[in-house]
Structure 1
Amino acid sequence: MQPIDIESGAELALGGIEATTEPKRAEPWMRPIEILAAGLLVVMICMVLANVFFRYVLAKPLIWGDEVASISFIWMAMLGAALAVDRHEHMRLTVVPPLLPEKLARIVEVAGQVMVCILLLRLLPVAVEYAYEERYVTSPALGLPMSWRASAIPVGSG
């Protein structure tokens, strides 16, 4: 096994997906989304811990806590997926392109990005319609329209 020169940015040859270089940064206009997703993670963790404490220590569960945690989770997941797409770190097939010639590998990568874009554009009107229809349903504990939860899908897709 060859030693890896980390300072030169040499790539680790594990299927061509891992590298010793710095992780990619999101575009500057995505910074508020990063902060929002991190804040939602903190809210979700605090809410779950509070639920555990109130339920098992005080024997008085927070009825609305599960709803807050689940709404935070779906928003965090959709915003995180948008960040992953922006950083080109979303889940994709990374075994085949390194085996192809460089020019063909680049074409395959661009074609994959175009397909993701087409899929998201195709799903966007359906997700908006779903969020719109969910406004008639309310959450049992908070009484919020479920469109708050469902609107995470078109926002993340957009």
Structure 2
Amino acid sequence: MRVLTALELGVACLAGALIFVLILYQALQRYLPVPGVVWTGELSEFALVWLTFGACGVLVTRDGHIALQLVDAFPRPGVVRAVHVLAMVLVAVIGAGFAWACWELVSAAGFLTSPALGLPMAWVYAITLVGLVSTTIRALARAVHVARFGVPEADGPVVPGVVGPGAPATEDGGRP
């Protein structure tokens, strides 16, 4: 899992760096006497898609996706656990649906190329497909983990007076 996470984060970092360099070059080519390159905008758009979908599996694993923290403060841990499991199952179902649609794009776009760069569109969609499959698998694994062991400490409710992340400090700077 660590190797997969490192690979996904590597793709996301590479895509982010690619976006930065290409957009910077586009800005510079407007004001400097350098030849304009047509495909820089197109490749930066593809990199944004790769960044988004390449990192979404990691966000699910690290619970970095959009969440309703109001549920985490609910006083019944069983309800909190059930909501977390339901949320992860929904993420997995939606991820699987998107992965299926993306697979259709990969298989149907074999002969299509991007207009400016000439990049095969199946390559563009393939990176997105890998990210969506990763998201689906990681969401299912997280749902099983939460169902078996409960919501991890870092994800659990922040209750005043309880030692842990977010607990209020005492006057001497320590935790109660």
Structure 1 length as normaliser, TM-score?
A: 0.74
Residue type of the alignment partner of 2:76:
P
Inter-partner Cα distance in structure 1 for 2:47 and 2:98: 22
Inter-partner Cα distance in structure 1 for 2:127 and 2:68: 26
State yes or no: 1:28 paired with 2:2: yes
Corresponding residue SS for 1:96: helix
33, 36, 57: which one pairs with 1:82? Answer: 57
Residue pair 2:54, 2:128 contacting (<8 A) in 1 also: no
28, 32, 46: which one pairs with 1:53? Answer: 28
Q: Runs (4+) of structure 1 moved beyond 6 Å?
A: none
Inter-partner Cα distance in structure 2 for 1:65 and 1:141: 9
Residue type of the alignment partner of 1:28:
R
Could you tell me how far 1:100 is from its partner in structure 2? 4.4
Residue type of the alignment partner of 1:155:
V
Residue pair 1:97, 1:108 contacting (<8 A) in 2 also: no
| 1:153 match | 128
Structure 2 length as normaliser, TM-score?
A: 0.67
Inter-partner Cα distance in structure 1 for 2:14 and 2:74: 40
State yes or no: 1:99 paired with 2:107: no
Inter-partner Cα distance in structure 2 for 1:124 and 1:33: 16
Give the number of equivalent residue pairs. Answer: 132
* Percent identity over paired residues: 23
- Computed over aligned residues only, the root mean square deviation of the Cα atoms, in angstroms, reads 1.8
Inter-partner Cα distance in structure 2 for 1:127 and 1:43: 23
Corresponding residue SS for 2:109: helix
